[in-house]
Amino acid sequence: MPVPKNLKHAFYQFLKIHHLIPSGSRVLVAVSGGQDSVALLDLLVQWQQGLQVTLGVAHVHHHLRSTADADAAFVADLARRYGLPFFQKDVNVPQLVEREKISVEAAARRLREDALREIAEEHHFQWIATGHTLSDQVETLLMRMFQGTGITGLAGIRLKRPPFVRPLLFATREAVHRYVVRRKLPFREDETNRDTRYLRNLLRLEVIPMLRQTFPLFREEAIGNLALVAGDWVAFLENQIQQAWNAIIIEYSQLKITLELPRFLQYFSGIQFGIVERIISDLKGEHVYLNYQKFKQLVYWLEHTAGHPQFWFDPVIGVYRQKNTAVFFQVERLEQWRSQVNGLRISWNTPVHLGTHQLVLSRHAGSVTLPPREPQTEYIDARCVKDAVYVRFPEEGMAFYPLGARRAVPLMEFLKKAGIPSPLRPFTPVLMSGERIIAIPGLRINHECRVSHETKEVIKIELRESHDYA
C-alpha cells in the first residue's frame, strides 16, 4: 500500500486494515534504542488511547558492543519519560555460539526472541511489537532470493506471528527517519550498521541504492506487497504442513528426526519443502530458509535408492535411508551428546536418555523363566556384570562377540553388517562392564552373556520410546 506523508495516520490505518493489535491488548514494545524502535514506541504511545491498549517497554542486553550499557540506560530513561514500565533481560550470546556452533547474528536473534517471550509471559503481555520496517523487509527478501528460497522465504518478515507483530512493516526507513527528525526524538546509532562485511548492510548501502538509480520502476512497496501476498499463502500452507507432519514423523529428538518415506513422497512438493525446512530448522535450533535446488536434489536422492548412502545439506546436517524411512541427523549435536553420555555409569531402574529412547536396566533374581520376548527388550546373565555398567561409544580396536556368532568381531564391522549408516556408527552407544561389551541396546547382546539353565539372576535391558528428549 502507498505510504501517506503523515506517518502517524498511516500507522493507525495499517494497524486497523491488518487487524494487528486487538483493542484491550497488553503490548510489549521491543526497543533497542535505534530510530525504528524509538519511532514505533512513540507512535504507539500517541495512539494508546485510540487503540485502547496497555504498553510496556522491553530491552534485551546482548553485551556485544561497547555502547551496550549506554543503550540499555537510554531505553530505560525513554520508558521513564513516557511513564511506561521498563523490563530488561541480559543474554549471553558467546555462550550460545560456542554451544550450538551458530553465527553471532543467529544466536543473538534466538536469545532476543526468547527473552522477549519470557518478559511477555511473566508480565502478561499478549503481543510483542518490534520495529521492523518495509526497508528491512526488502533487504530480507533480496537476501533470500539471492540465496535461493521457496514460498516460505518469500513471505519475508511475517506481519503477525503471535506473539510478535510488526506495525511498521509498511514504512520505509527514510519515512521513519523523517518522522523521528520532525518529532525531535532522540535515538542511538549502531556503528555496525555501516559495516558492509555484513550482507544486509551491503544491500542497504550499495545494492539497493544502485537498483533505485538503475531501475526507475524499483519500488520497495511492490516488494513489500509480494511478501504480504506470500504470507497469506504460507499461513494456509503451514496448516497443511502441520497435518502432514503429524502423519509422517515417526521419531523426533534434538539429535535426529525420522519420517515415513513412502507417504512423504506422495505429498505435493510445497508440503514436502515445508517439512524438510522445518526438520533442518529444528535440528539446527534456528529457523533456516531452505535452498530450493538443495531440496530438489534431496527428493531426487530419496526417490532413487541406488547411489550414495547419505545425503548432506551441509557439513553438519545429513540424511540416510533406512528401509522405508529417511533419518535426518545433526552431527555437532550428536558429538555434544556423545561427550556428555560417554562413560556414564548406569544406576539400576533409573532411565538414561539415549537419543530418541530411554534405557532402563533392572535386576531380577530367583527365577530363570523369562517372560515372552518383547520388542526392544533383552535379558542377560547377571554374572556378566562384575562391578557396574557404563555407556561407551565405538573406538578403534573394540571387539564384540554377538549372540549366535562363533567368535568376536571388530565392533565397527558388526555395526556395518547390522545396517548402521557409517556417519552414525561412532554415535552408537554400547554397554560395557569392565573391558567387555555386554550388549548393544536395540541390536544384540554378548554371546557370553546369554541366559542359560545355570543362570540364577538376570539383567533386563529395556529401551523405551522417549518423546521429551532435551
Residue 349: which CATH number? 3.50.40.10
Task: State how far the Cα of 352 lies from the Cα of 361, in Å rounded to an integer.
Answer: 9
Cα of 415 vs its chain's centroid, Å: 30
- Asked if 401 contacts 445 with a C-beta cutoff of 8 angstroms, the reply is no
Same-domain check for residues 316 and 360: no
Report whether 425 contacts 419 (CB < 8 A).
no
Q: Write the single-letter amino acid at 413.
A: E
Q: Per the structure block, which three cell numbers stand in for 374?
A: 518383547
- pLDDT over 90, % of the chain: 62
Cell of 196: 558492509
pLDDT band at 316 (very low <50, low <70, confident <90, very high): confident
| DSSP symbol at 159 | S
On whether residue 137 sits in a domain, the answer given is: yes
Is there a domain that residue 213 lies in? yes
Q: Based on the domain organization, do 142 and 164 belong to the same domain?
A: yes
Same domain, 76 and 205: yes
- Per the listing, cell 542377560 goes with 380
Residues 317 and 410 placed together within one structural domain of the fold: no
For 370-401, the pLDDT digits (tens) are 555 666 789 999 999 988 999 999 998 999 99
Question: Based on the domain organization, do 391 and 455 belong to the same domain?
Answer: yes
* Whether residue 105 is found in the same domain as residue 205: yes
For 49-73, how does the pLDDT look when each residue is reduced to its tens digit (9 = 90+)? 999 999 999 999 999 888 999 999 9
Give the C-alpha separation, 390 to 345, whole Å. Answer: 4
Assess if residue 235 is contained within a domain. no
- Report which residue type is found at 303: E
Residue 350 has pLDDT above 50, yes or no: yes
pLDDT confidence of residue 34: 95
pTM of structure: 0.67
Q: What is the pLDDT of residues 108-136, one digit of tens each?
A: 999 999 999 999 999 999 999 999 999 99
pLDDT reported for residue 375: 65
Whether pLDDT at 251 is above 50: yes
Residue 11's alpha-carbon distances to 153, 222, 230, 374, in angstroms, are 25, 18, 22, 64
Which of residues 206, 229, 252 is at a domain's end?
A: 229
Expressed as residue numbers, the domain containing 262 is: 243-333
Mean pLDDT of 21-42: 97
Instruction: Tell me, yes or no, whether 399 lies in a domain.
Output: yes
d(Cα 19, Cα 226) in Å, to the nearest integer? 19
Tens digits of residue pLDDT in 277-303: 999 999 988 888 888 889 999 999 999
Q: How many domains does the chain have?
A: 3
* 202 and 282 belong to one structural domain: no
| Angle subtended by helix axes 104-122 and 93-100, to nearest 10 | 120
The answer to whether residues 121 and 265 belong to one domain is: no
234 domain-assigned? no
Band (368; pLDDT cuts 50, 70, 90):
low
- Checking if the pLDDT of 171 tops 80, the result is yes
Domain termination site, one of 199, 229, 259: 229
* Cβ(207)–Cβ(38) below 8 Å: no
Q: What is the mean pLDDT of the chain?
A: 89
Q: Is 367 found in the same domain as 448?
A: yes
Which of 91-105, 115-129, 157-171 has the weakest average pLDDT? 91-105
Q: Give the burial class of 18: count Cβ atoms within 10 A of its Cβ; 0-12 exposed, 13-18 middle, 19 or more buried.
A: middle
Q: Which of 229, 264, 294 is the last residue of a domain?
A: 229
Residue 96 CA: distances (Å) to CA of 36, 84, 92, 108, 358:
27, 31, 7, 9, 27
